[in-house]
Structure 1
Amino acid sequence: MIQSQAKLPDGFQSPRWLQKIQWINNSLAYMDVAGQKYGDIFNAPVIGNYRQLLLVSHPQALQQIFSNPHHFIAPSNPLLHPIVGDYSVFVLEGDRHRKERKLLMPPFHGEQMLSNGQLICELTEKVMQSLHPGEVFVARDLMQNVSLEVILTVVFGLHKGERFRQLKDCIVSLLSEFKSPLTSGLLFFPALQKDLGRWSPWGSFLRKQQQINQLLVAEIRDRRQQYDSSRSDILSLLLEARDEDGAPMTDEQLRDELMTLLLAGHETTATAIAWALYWVHRFPNVHSQLLQELDSLGNTPTPIEISRLPYLTAVCNESLRIYPVAILTTPRAVKEPVELMGYQLEPGTKVYGCIYLTHHRPDLYPEPKQFKPERFLQRQFSPYEFLPFGGGVRRCIGEALALFEMKLVLATIISRYELTLVQQEPERPKRRGVTFSPHTGVRMIMQGRRSV
């Protein structure tokens, strides 16, 4: 790519603590300025205590990072460890990570995933019917109701009952802890993760986390005692799983994996759908073209037919491109000395793929700040050019289900309801934990059912 250089990539010279605060407060602005100043690779010591933490946005470099396990290993994600626990697929490494990932994959693909299609449409309709004409609502909160019910059904096979209700309430309450940049900042400053009582930010988080843990362990133990081999939800499949020595997963292992799937499996999807609703209703031409495509399927399309629509797919992809829910991939650590983009990297150097900057490269996406779904109809992007779900061995296992759900929820709402945006000014992203969601949540007005 570039002639070899001895020096390491440049980056801002301000103190690390100040850069961390800038990152927490406005990561996108930090990356925009750094990308313009330093290019495709730069030093950004904003996570952990690393002096050399590189952000990379060049597709060729990303391909080298994701496909070269000899030089780049995929360690655990330190930011998520306090949330998901010691046994989550997010924090496992090496063979343990590979084996755990293999166990978790099947329910998110193939027939198992497709069988949830009608359920997703029905849950969307149920939630939308709770709104009255003229009512103002926050799209992200509403979509969280849908996605949480979907993931509870997929993970547990639960869609009613007291424990189902308690889990829903507790998860929403836990995630609300990370609405503000201040609380989110605790994930970036481990020294501030102190339990100073139930009214302190971290103390409040820990108590809500414990409530969910108790509910999960109770469900695990009940299911062990009343095991039903005919069930096909994720918990049932994990209860059947055995390691190479024939041992089942412990309650603690199951709890951490379930916590991971519950939090990662609905929070991000709800945000992605809210962004899509915003973009579709901000641009009338996008709305009309999408509606025309949906109407072409007739009155009773199947979930599979909906999911294969090209313009709907392009709208979803462009929503995930312009403001990806996760702005970085999971980290890689340099295992042996390696050259990357002309720089010589030493063992221990941490490298993150910068999803946001890759998605905003003018050479890949002309006018990158503009919402243009047609760009996904005009060309096919590689996994190193469009990567909203990360890449390599740490790529999100729920990608297929998330996209399937996003398309079905958006199609159900657009084809059956007339909505308008409340705000006229552009929506902007805001930190929510380690992800980014619409600042206002996308406030909309229910105008009524669409007359067909």
Structure 2
Amino acid sequence: MNSPPGPKAPYFVQHYRWFHEPLEFVEECRQRYGDVFQIRLGEGKGHYPLIMINKPEHVQSILTDDFNKFDSGEGHLALQALVGENSLLTMDGAKHALHKNLMKPQFYGEALRGYGTAMRDVTNRHMSKLERGETFSVRNLMQRISMSVISNTVFGLEKGAEHEELENRVASLMNWVASLVGYTSLTYEPFRKEFGGITPWGAFVRERAAIDKIVYRQIERSRQNGGGSTRDSEPKNGRHNVLNLLVQAKDEEGQGMSDLEVRDELMTILVSGHETTASSLTWALYWLHQNPEIKEKLLEELDSCDDPTDPQKLYALPYLTAVCNETLRICPALLIAFVRINREPYRFLDYEFPAHSNITPCIYLTHHRKDIFDNPEEFRPERFLNKQYTAFEYYPFGGSNRRCIGSSYAVYEMKIVIATMLLNWELRAKDRKKFKATRRGITITPPEAFQLVNDGKRADI
């Protein structure tokens, strides 16, 4: 059976490179093996090669083919320990479609617009804690801001003990997931042993249980309040949080979501929305400070906004939009899109993939194709002002029925956080050192070493 070419190195060598130097690994594979190649990350029963594609017409072929030929949830079962069986990440078929329809309204339209003020206020609160002249790790700050935005807009928590506990425990959990031990434990079942709670997996289970306790408590409060407040005190944003909207959501037959289903989708948002957005925000600030002329052009646009306190006015700014789009192109938070697993033998080009093959578009490789993007290694927001790209040339949030449901929310947050920071604070890079991307769990992010200096509020300078 004809199969795509790929590295001959043992699977554990490929797995090491996939974890420690993923960008270099896939780029080398494309240069050596072409537009379709496979890598091996495991061996034995249940382990199939990961087949990568990146050419737009190939991406289109996979993403637009009959959904019923593929499963995707099965390819993310490693995440089930984090997000549960009722997550959009791990479901397929009719159940996936039902949950997506229930979830979608919480991230678009009026609901989305209701989150803007909270995103702005959270950013101002965290930035105000920085002393003038203080040097700070951008990635660490963006993780705190992103987590606080989720606490506020998803759970309705703003301040207090529960807010702090949730943020601290989620940060601890995600640090574990991002580690080699965590990544390996989630990927390979033999490592998922508690042995009385003394193993790393046992520590993970305890942390997850503590987060579940907080989440279920918030669900109970929301139901008691009829989907109203979930805060210790009355929320200033009223009903504008995702938890309340999920509790109220009903399908066509008037059926709502169970507590377990709500819990799993809330965990999905925590896992998939926290690190990815923090990574994208960090990259945006990195590229802006690597290219001062681009930062200056963006500041001119922000300063000319007729009402910079209005999140909707900021959201509509064209150059800010281009900066965010270019950030997501050159450094997509996720290396690959959702894995497609063919249910039956699948013919693709000159290849015949056996059933249960893992097929995925590689977002990073597509976004760095020279035949699509001129000088792809150059950060150039103007390319998004001068041209519109297809959904198979530019797809930072995946595509088709597996496109990230929170994509609009993520871009909205990127715009509001970046605009708020640049409008109100004078920031500069500690140095112009170029940083190499690192893997942090499922995301590709700058290292902690990327730092900015806070030179104070712009109004005071």
Q: TM-score, normalised by structure 2?
A: 0.91
1:390 counterpart = 2:398: yes
How do 1:13-28 and structure 2 match up within 5 A? Answer: 13-28=8-23
Question: Structure 1 residues 232, 310: CA separation in 2 closer, same or farther (over 3 Å shift)?
Answer: closer
8 Å Cα contact 1:197-1:204 kept in structure 2: no
Structure 2 residue identity aligned to 1:53: L
Report deviation, 1:413.
1.0
Deviations 1:200-233 (A, max 9, x none): 3322222111110111112222333332468353
How do 1:265-344 and structure 2 match up within 5 A? Answer: 265-298=273-306, 300=308, 302-344=310-352
How do 1:122-133 and structure 2 match up within 5 A? Answer: 122-133=121-132
SS in structure 1 at match of 2:136: strand
Structure 1 residue identity aligned to 2:402: R
Aligned twin of 1:141: 140
1:62 counterpart = 2:59: yes
8 Å Cα contact 1:71-1:337 kept in structure 2: no
Structure 2 residue identity aligned to 1:349: S
How do 1:303-452 and structure 2 match up within 5 A? Answer: 303-440=311-448, 442-451=450-459
8 Å Cα contact 2:275-2:443 kept in structure 1: no
Aligned twin of 2:234: none
CA distance in 2, matches of 1:146, 1:190: 33
Bigger CA drift: 123-132 or 195-204?
A: 195-204
Ranges in structure 2 where 5+ consecutive residues have no aligned partner: 229-237
Structure 2 residue identity aligned to 1:58: K
Deviations 1:66-115 (A, max 9, x none): 11124334333123222112221111111001100111111100111012
Aligned twin of 1:35: 30
Bigger CA drift: 264-273 or 150-159?
A: 150-159
Question: Structure 1 residues 435, 299: CA separation in 2 closer, same or farther (over 3 Å shift)?
Answer: same
8 Å Cα contact 1:275-1:442 kept in structure 2: no
CA distance in 2, matches of 1:159, 1:326: 29
Q: Provide the alpha-carbon RMSD of the alignment.
A: 2.1
CA distance in 1, matches of 2:240, 2:342: 39
Structure 2 residue identity aligned to 1:17: F
SS in structure 2 at match of 1:386: coil
Report deviation, 1:198.
5.2
CA distance in 2, matches of 1:380, 1:366: 14
Report deviation, 1:41.
0.9
8 Å Cα contact 1:53-1:352 kept in structure 2: yes
CA distance in 1, matches of 2:356, 2:389: 31
Question: Structure 1 residues 152, 10: CA separation in 2 closer, same or farther (over 3 Å shift)?
Answer: same
1:44 counterpart = 2:39: yes
Aligned twin of 1:253: 261
CA distance in 1, matches of 2:115, 2:71: 35
Structure 2 residue identity aligned to 1:425: K
CA distance in 2, matches of 1:266, 1:371: 24
Give the share of equivalent positions with the same residue, in percent: 36
SS in structure 2 at match of 1:427: coil
Aligned twin of 2:72: 74
Which of 3, 14, 17 is the aligned partner of 1:8?
A: 3
8 Å Cα contact 1:141-1:441 kept in structure 2: no
Aligned twin of 2:208: 209
Deviations 1:172-217 (A, max 9, x none): 1211213434433333333222225656332222211111011111
Structure 1 residue identity aligned to 2:29: A
Structure 1 residue identity aligned to 2:134: E
Which of 232, 238, 241 is the aligned partner of 1:233?
A: 241
CA distance in 1, matches of 2:197, 2:455: 42
Question: Structure 1 residues 288, 360: CA separation in 2 closer, same or farther (over 3 Å shift)?
Answer: same
CA distance in 2, matches of 1:354, 1:7: 21
Report deviation, 1:120.
1.4
Question: Structure 1 residues 300, 365: CA separation in 2 closer, same or farther (over 3 Å shift)?
Answer: closer
8 Å Cα contact 1:295-1:415 kept in structure 2: yes
CA distance in 1, matches of 2:346, 2:183: 34
Deviations 1:27-74 (A, max 9, x none): 111101101111111111226843332111111111111111243343
Question: Structure 1 residues 183, 450: CA separation in 2 closer, same or farther (over 3 Å shift)?
Answer: same
How do 1:126-205 and structure 2 match up within 5 A? Answer: 126-196=125-195, 200-205=199-204
Structure 1 residue identity aligned to 2:69: H
CA distance in 2, matches of 1:322, 1:232: 33
CA distance in 2, matches of 1:88, 1:241: 16
Aligned length: 447
Deviations 1:403-440 (A, max 9, x none): 01101111111122111222432122111111121112
Ranges in structure 1 where 5+ consecutive residues have no aligned partner: 1-5
8 Å Cα contact 2:118-2:153 kept in structure 1: no
Q: TM-score, normalised by structure 1?
A: 0.93
CA distance in 1, matches of 2:69, 2:454: 53
Report deviation, 1:263.
2.2
CA distance in 1, matches of 2:280, 2:351: 35
Aligned twin of 1:3: none
8 Å Cα contact 2:41-2:49 kept in structure 1: no
Deviations 1:268-298 (A, max 9, x none): 1111111101110111111111111111214
Question: Structure 1 residues 23, 158: CA separation in 2 closer, same or farther (over 3 Å shift)?
Answer: same
Aligned twin of 2:235: none
Report deviation, 1:335.
3.0
